[in-house]
Amino acid sequence: ADRRRAGSVRGPGRTSDGHPVKLLLNIGSAADLAPRDPAPSAEGAEGVDAEGVGLFRTEFLFLDRREEPSREEQVAAYAAVLRAAPGGHVVVRTLDAGTDKPLPFLGLAEETNPALGVRGLRVSRVRPEVLDTQLDAIAEAARETGTEPWVMAPMVTTVAEAADFAGRARARGIAHVGAMVEVPAAALRAGRLLEELDFLSIGTNDLSQYTFASDRQHGELADLLDPWQAALLQLIADCAAAGRAAGKPVGVCGEAAADPLLATVLVGLGVSSLSMSAPGISPVRESLAAHSLARCRDNARIALAADDPGQARKAIVPDR
Ligand code: PEP
Ligand code: MG
């Protein structure tokens, strides 16, 4: 009965009837995994009860640097995360930079439309050695810590890009190679991508931006960027179906994963993990624990059929 009390549901993520859904953390550095507050406060004492790291954003090491961080410095930073991660599961995302982020050492040309320019994996067209050094460092950190990190690239757009990335990563002994799905072109080819890759992770922040042609920071366009938009959910459904057909994991690591009711929709669409920043984990775990998989699938059908996000939210009554 006490399962209803806030924070009372613990352990791995699952629906009320036991369907497992991995609940993972989005982090920016090892500091995000350190116990935040030694005082015996609600979350502080036991730490966040996540099953691993679903998105390790590696940008922090590179931002505001005049020179590329050395391989050794990168190895130390990645090893710190691999050592500290709960359950030992870490998905490392390679550098997501571009001309909208200040990385002078990359020497990228100025662009009039940086969101549509040389960012994410595309930087490796101009500076392939930066990605190669990063992959070397990740592989070295894995050996040092005796762990097997999953490694994925941001902004993958075509199957050819995915195959190229996978080749480079596998050549270094990285066993689990994936891509973020942030561009509609990638979502539309999810099945083919999964022939080249071991997993997909849907970044709903950018996938919304590119699907709805709306700058993700644009306050005036918040309704278009609402993750309850059916067109976004349809792309997620298609990726999840491709994952099920291939028997490979497809998760969500954008902000959408932290909305407790939308999490039931995402599970109903068939995703296998939800990754979010720490405060989202407990509410999402409790929401899933209150909904059966059948109920999640009902919610997914309702949300996919709705003409606008408000209608979808109104039509879905949470089980508590
Ligand atoms: C995303 O785009 O949804 C994502 C998780 O990546 P970032 O927010 O770092 O762009
Ligand atoms: Mg992104």
Provide the ipTM.
0.99
Structure tokens at 83: 């050592």
Q: Is 205 in the pocket of ligand 1 (CB under 6 A)?
A: yes
Q: Give the residue among 48, 179, 58, 193 at the shortest CA–CA distance from 130.
A: 58
- How many residues are listed for the chain in this entry? 320
99-157 confidence digits (pLDDT tens)? 677 688 888 888 999 999 999 999 999 999 999 999 999 999 999 999 999 999 999 99
CA 89/CA 148 separation, integer angstroms:
8
Q: What is the pLDDT of residue 7?
A: 61
Is residue 223 predicted with pLDDT exceeding 90? yes
Contact between 58 and 92 under an 8 Å Cβ cutoff? The reply is yes
Residue 42 banded pLDDT, cuts 50, 70, 90: very low
| Ligand approaching nearest to the C-alpha of 232 | 1
At residue 167, what is the residue type?
Answer: G
CA 129/CA 136 separation, integer angstroms:
10
pLDDT over 70, % of the chain: 93
Is residue 260 predicted with pLDDT exceeding 60? yes
Atom of ligand 1 nearest to the CA of 182: 2
Q: Is 209 in the pocket of ligand 1 (CB under 6 A)?
A: no
- 128 CA distance to ligand 1 middle (Å): 22
Q: What is the pLDDT of residue 101?
A: 74
Can you give the pTM of this predicted structure? 0.94
Q: What is the pLDDT of residue 208?
A: 97
Contact between 54 and 91 under an 8 Å Cβ cutoff? The reply is yes
Structure tokens at 228: 């309850």
- 292 CA distance to ligand 2 middle (Å): 30
